[in-house]
Amino acid sequence: MKFRSSSASLISFISFIFLPSLISSQACKKSCGNQLIRYPFGSGPGCGDPRFQQYVTCDQQNLILNTHSGCYTIDNIDYNNHVIYIQDPSMSTCSSTHPSQGFSLDWDAPFAFLEDNVFALLDCATASSPLYNSQSGLNNSIVPLCDNEGAPICSSLYSCPTISRLNLPISTCCVYTPIDLGPAFEMNLQRLQCTSYASFYSFNGRESNPGSWKYGIALKYRFNVKNDFPSACSDCENSHGVCGYTGSYNSFVCNCFDGLNTTTDCYFTASMNNNVRVLLWKFGTWMISSLACFLIWAL
């Protein structure tokens, strides 16, 4: 009986080794919660572009932008125009006001502000804030920090019930101008002596109605200097794979649905995998049949 039991266990073990698995895992996912993920972003380490890995992460439900000033939920990604839209819970809007420390980007982050983004600083100390003093730029040039033409924006914001109830003089509102500083952007409200800020990236066709503006922060991202989409990643995504990287040199790798990785695309791995599975099936079937015949003869 021991011999028969050992023989059955041996047959099961060989079947497990040689018969192809119908369930395979994938290291990189195509979504984070309900949000689609495409290059250059990834669902975890080894996914997407390594330059973006430390800045955009997935917390299982949402994509998050990480900077030294905080963590911000990414509401939407425009992959065609290379723009991400984020929300800062401490930001004020026409429907709510909050005290805030400000918003900053890391100096080496591959992001820059969308040209249409507007920052309005609220409740600023007009007497002592550096916003209202001349700032020295390159070659001792004057860099104004408040846009004098931004008065209509401040007037519109101060018509919002939540802001009007604060009874703040409109002169304490500053439309912050140095949003073209790119990755070096630093909006430290404590240093600027302001209580809060509002940010929007579109008037939504209604400049005089701040309740309809699109509030949030819009950031452009770049793949490289020319901002060309990598052809290898395009081939990978067209074959239903997910772009990633591996090794000490962060070499490109295409993650395929069957759990295999390739340096090309998933069409190659699918063809190779099918051929290997057929060979393994035939070989495994032959081995099991031969072993079964041997055991029956031996018994």
Q: Give, in degrees to the nearest 5, the angle at Cα 120 between 119 and 123.
A: 145
pLDDT of residue 135: 61
Q: Give, in degrees to the nearest 5, the angle at Cα 212 between 215 and 105.
A: 10
- 105-138 b/e with 16+ CB inside 10 Å = b? bbeebbbbbbeebbbbbbbbeeeebebbeeeeee
User: Where exactly are the structural domains of the chain?
Assistant: 2-25+269-298, 27-78+229-255, 88-221
CB 188 within 8 A of CB 100: no
Adjacent-strand bridge partners of 195: none
How many CA atoms lie within 13 Å of 272's alpha carbon, on the beta-carbon side?
12
- 237-268 b/e with 16+ CB inside 10 Å = b? bebebbbbbeeeeeebbbbbbbebbbeebbbe
Positions of the chain with pLDDT under 50:
1-26, 181, 271-283, 286, 297
Ramachandran assignment for 70, one of left (phi > 0), alpha (psi -120 to 50 degrees), beta (any other): left
CA distance 136 to 223: 33
pTM flag (> 0.95): no
Taking only the tens place, the pLDDT of each residue in 126-157 is 888 888 776 655 566 666 688 877 789 999 99
pLDDT of residue 89: 92
